Amino acid sequence: MASDHHSGTAASRKMSERAFDIEKKSFEIIDSEIGHHGYNEMQWAIVRRVIHATADFDFAGKGKILFHEKALDSVFDAIRNKCTIVTDVDMVLAAINKKSLSDLGLKTACYISDGNVAEEARRLGRTRSETAMRHAAKAMDGGIVAIGNAPTALYEVINMVKEGVTRPALVVGIPVGFVSAPESKEELAKADVPFITNIGRKGGSPAASSIMNAILLLYQSKLSA
């Protein structure tokens, strides 16, 4: 039985090493294909992970990712304070690294599938995404918001910030789509809140969760430095 366990552990370690090698090789390919990019080291660690998750080089070009000047300082402070990460959809939440969340003692919240939210949205004639964000006002105050799908969720967060209802440490606003997605990001880039967003229609859950995972890894590497 012990030898079975030992061989299982060895196989698991071998697979982990192989996955790490593939990721490393992928990053090298991205670096060589992009060349000069104009981001600083920490910003590039985030942009590169988005490209890795989506295989889309536009995120470093015409769909460029934009960083508020205080984005990383603000989010690192929030993580240090054991903040909550609020997402617009379950898919973004599912793809955030669970080990990093556990190691850093961070909480998460996503109310899009909450029955009360659905009922309230119906009653008020609003989208579930908007209602879910209102529901999360307290959780996102001093925390992180990661939006990959719903422009209406991003508009709602911007409105809540303007109203003084909540003050996130960082809004990752990268919704995908043709209707309102580009415009909602333009609004975020003008809002009085630390943000990470991009230009244009592209985005989505993989982009939002990869930004979050990159931020958590950067914070962990700062801790161990």
CA dihedral in degrees (14, 17, 18, 21; nearest 10)?
A: -160
The CA distance from 96 to 65, in Å, is 19
**Angle, alpha carbons 142-193-195 (nearest 5°):** 95
> What one-character DSSP code corresponds to residue 32?
H
Closest C-alpha to 110, from 205, 8, 183 = 205
Residue 6 a catalytic site member: no
Tell how far CA 146 is from the center of its chain.
Answer: 5
Hey, is 109 helix, strand or coil? strand
Residue whose pair of structure tokens reads 């006002």 in the numeric block: 137
> Looking at this protein, which amino acid is placed at residue 170?
L
Q: Which of 6, 36, 37, 52 is catalytic?
A: 52
Catalytically annotated residues: 52
